[in-house]
């Protein structure tokens, strides 16, 4: 056999693997703060994001768990390892529905290291994620003065609040939820950020002069595109905590640099720090969300609509989804979309109650799941369990002023626990119709 023919599949596999890994980039960012407690070096935080589509859960003790291993190695300029850690991390949810996460997972790793320029390697692996992923890069740990006014590096955040209910994200009594990618959506361009100011002049017991904060944005050409009003803050000590946000509405998609400046009004010293962030047209859904939505609308749209949806990119699918629910909202002037609320309730119900009919079918794919999704809760259900000459079967009745009476009959034809639709009576009949359906109940058939 020609050796080149053998190499082609190998080459294609490597390309495919590279493509899959590229799809699941590992966003990583760092922030470094002055260590005010000991001489171990700066207090550093590494932030990373696991894409929601990568997370795998397993059922364990009436809950669902996802475990993975985090490994970080830091090297100096001579490629000598100066820091290493390996930790087991986990996620826990209570129900199967919660395993369909609709958010990426942001996490944090803290460590001490002395000022300098380093390279790093971060690896995530284990049964709790679909694919082992890694990231390499460089970090610069600044050296902070003990006398001059200085600012820490800037951490970009998804949110900052005083509800300190997630201890690992708490700094100085603030819940600082990281945004490792430094990407913010054009649709909601609120840029949260956190930093610290060091060596403010402060005398305990003596009211000190405030310090002043100012912010402005530079575009990729280093031109100032937006400035913000100065903000005065009272001193609580020699260190100032800066947890704030700005609105970048009106700016086009692209990369920007936040310039943060602090001035100590007692000494007139000024310090400045800057950090890059990105404004993008970000989808708020994942590929997994898009796939679930396609399943949800399978029975209530035509084939052509599904084909159009399949051709859209993720941003297009998000827009399609928004319009789909909006067009079916019976009362658009209210905050609640009653159609969506009811349909999602049905979706959750069928996937909880009919999931065990067949190992190859999800609850929504069963006949009872389909009818429940389309028609809702039956007015009445007759349940008949297997007898000597009759198979398990159910008869669902629907009565409404708008559609009149409807009837659906389900039977366990194979006597293996899967009830299939064997007869129906409904307007615009599209389901199976068999006036002799009672013959199918005979256990001898």
Look at residue 245 and tell me whether its pLDDT is greater than 90. yes
Q: Residue 427 — pLDDT band, cuts 50, 70, 90?
A: low
**What pLDDT, on a 0 to 100 scale, did the predictor assign at position 60?**
86
What are the tokens at 17? 């693997």
Q: Which of 132, 107, 128 is nearest to 65 (CA)?
A: 128
Q: Where is the domain boundary, 280, 296, 312?
A: 280
Look at residue 23 and tell me whether its pLDDT is greater than 60. no
- In a domain? residue 157: yes
How many angstroms separate the CA atoms of 91 and 147, rounded?
43
How many angstroms separate the CA atoms of 239 and 233, rounded?
12
How many angstroms separate the CA atoms of 53 and 66, rounded?
13
Starting at the earlier edge strand, list the strands of the sheet with 420-425: 380-384, 393-400, 404-411, 420-425
Strands (E) across 219-269 are located at: 224-227, 231-233, 240-247, 254-264
Instruction: Tell me how far the alpha carbon of residue 176 is from its chain's centroid.
Output: 17
- In a domain? residue 43: yes
How many angstroms separate the CA atoms of 308 and 320, rounded?
10
Instruction: Tell me how far the alpha carbon of residue 324 is from its chain's centroid.
Output: 22
Shared domain check, 210 and 103: yes
Q: Where is the domain boundary, 232, 265, 280?
A: 280
Q: Residue 428 — pLDDT band, cuts 50, 70, 90?
A: low
Average pLDDT (38-60) is 90
Q: Which of 116-125, 228-237, 344-353, 397-406 has the lowest mean pLDDT?
A: 397-406
Instruction: Tell me how far the alpha carbon of residue 432 is from its chain's centroid.
Output: 41
**What pLDDT, on a 0 to 100 scale, did the predictor assign at position 11?**
43
**What pLDDT, on a 0 to 100 scale, did the predictor assign at position 242?**
96
| DSSP-derived 3-state class of residue 322 | helix
Shared domain check, 176 and 43: yes
Look at residue 15 and tell me whether its pLDDT is greater than 70. no
Look at residue 170 and tell me whether its pLDDT is greater than 90. yes
What are the tokens at 339? 């159609």
Q: Could you read off the pLDDT of 305-346 as tens digits, one per residue?
A: 999 999 998 888 988 998 999 999 999 888 789 999 999 999
What are the tokens at 63? 């809950």
Say how many residues make up the chain.
445
Backbone φ, ψ for residue 253 (5° rounding)? -60, 140
Query: Domain of 407?
Result: 378-445
How many angstroms separate the CA atoms of 24 and 39, rounded?
38
How many angstroms separate the CA atoms of 177 and 159, rounded?
5
Q: Could you read off the pLDDT of 219-228 as tens digits, one per residue?
A: 999 999 999 9
- In a domain? residue 412: yes
- 101: domain CATH number? 2.60.40.3880
The contacts of residue 416 (CB under 8 Å, 6+ apart) are: none
Q: Residue 19 — pLDDT band, cuts 50, 70, 90?
A: very low
How many angstroms separate the CA atoms of 263 and 257, rounded?
20
How many angstroms separate the CA atoms of 297 and 124, rounded?
35
Number of domains in the chain: 2
**What pLDDT, on a 0 to 100 scale, did the predictor assign at position 13?**
38
**What pLDDT, on a 0 to 100 scale, did the predictor assign at position 443?**
81
**What pLDDT, on a 0 to 100 scale, did the predictor assign at position 150?**
97
- In a domain? residue 393: yes
Q: Residue 92 — pLDDT band, cuts 50, 70, 90?
A: confident
Q: Are 222 and 276 in contact (CB under 8 A)?
A: no
Q: Where is the domain boundary, 220, 250, 280?
A: 280
**What pLDDT, on a 0 to 100 scale, did the predictor assign at position 12?**
40
**What pLDDT, on a 0 to 100 scale, did the predictor assign at position 345?**
93
Shared domain check, 127 and 264: yes
> What does the longest C-alpha to C-alpha distance in the chain come to?
97
Average pLDDT (394-412) is 85
Q: What is the DSSP letter of 95?
A: S
The residue ranking higher by pLDDT, 389 or 269, is: 269
- In a domain? residue 295: no
Average pLDDT (18-28) is 62
What are the tokens at 160? 């900052």
- In a domain? residue 35: yes
**What pLDDT, on a 0 to 100 scale, did the predictor assign at position 429?**
66
Q: Residue 287 — pLDDT band, cuts 50, 70, 90?
A: confident
Q: Are 140 and 120 in contact (CB under 8 A)?
A: no
- In a domain? residue 196: yes
Shared domain check, 102 and 209: yes
**What pLDDT, on a 0 to 100 scale, did the predictor assign at position 289?**
87
Average pLDDT (417-435) is 84
Average pLDDT (37-43) is 92
- In a domain? residue 242: yes
């Amino acid at each position: 056999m020609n050796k080149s023919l053998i190499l082609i599949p190998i080459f294609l596999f490597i390309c495919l693997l590279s493509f899959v890994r590229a799809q699941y980039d590992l966003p990583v960012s760092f922030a470094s703060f002055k260590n005010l407690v000991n001489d171990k070096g700066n207090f550093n935080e590494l932030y990373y994001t696991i894409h929601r589509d990568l997370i795998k859960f397993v059922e364990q003790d009436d809950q669902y768990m996802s475990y993975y291993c985090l490994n970080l190695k830091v090297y100096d300029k001579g490629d000598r390892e100066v820091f290493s850690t390996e930790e087991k991390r986990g996620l826990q949810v209570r129900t199967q529905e919660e395993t369909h996460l609709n958010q990426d997972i942001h996490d944090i790793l803290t460590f001490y290291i002395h000022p300098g320029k380093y390279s790093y390697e971060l690896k995530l692996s284990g049964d709790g994620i679909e694919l082992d992923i890694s990231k390499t890069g460089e970090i610069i740990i600044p050296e902070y003065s003990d006398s001059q006014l200085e600012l820490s590096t800037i951490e970009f955040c998804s949110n900052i609040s005083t509800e300190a209910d997630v201890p690992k994200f708490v700094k100085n009594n603030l819940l600082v939820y990281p945004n490792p990618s430094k990407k913010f959506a054009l649709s909601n361009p609120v840029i949260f950020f956190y930093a610290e100011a060091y060596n403010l002049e402060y005398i305990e017991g003596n009211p000190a002069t405030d310090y002043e904060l100012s912010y402005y944005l530079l575009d990729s050409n280093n031109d100032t595109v937006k400035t913000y009003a100065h903000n005065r803050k009272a001193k609580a000590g020699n260190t100032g905590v800066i947890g704030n946000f700005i609105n970048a509405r009106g700016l086009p998609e692209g990369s920007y640099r936040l310039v943060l400046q602090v001035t100590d009004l007692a000494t007139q010293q000024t310090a400045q720090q800057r950090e890059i962030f990105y404004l993008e047209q970000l989808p708020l859904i994942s590929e997994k969300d898009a796939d679930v939505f396609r399943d949800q609308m399978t029975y209530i749209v035509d084939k052509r609509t599904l084909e159009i949806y399949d051709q859209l990119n993720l941003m297009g699918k998000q827009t399609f989804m928004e319009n789909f629910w909006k067009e079916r909202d019976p009362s658009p002037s209210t905050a609640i979309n009653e159609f969506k609320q009811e349909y999602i309730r049905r979706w959750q119900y069928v996937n909880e109650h009919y999931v065990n009919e067949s190992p190859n079918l999800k609850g929504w794919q069963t006949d009872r799941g389909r009818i429940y999704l389309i028609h809702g809760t039956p007015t009445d259900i007759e349940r008949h369990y297997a007898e000597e000459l009759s198979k398990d079967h159910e008869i669902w009745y629907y009565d409404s002023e708008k559609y009149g009476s409807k009837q659906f009959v389900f039977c366990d034809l194979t006597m293996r626990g899967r009830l299939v639709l064997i007869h129906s009576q409904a307007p615009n009949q599209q389901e199976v119709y068999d006036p002799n359906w009672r013959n199918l109940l005979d256990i001898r058939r």
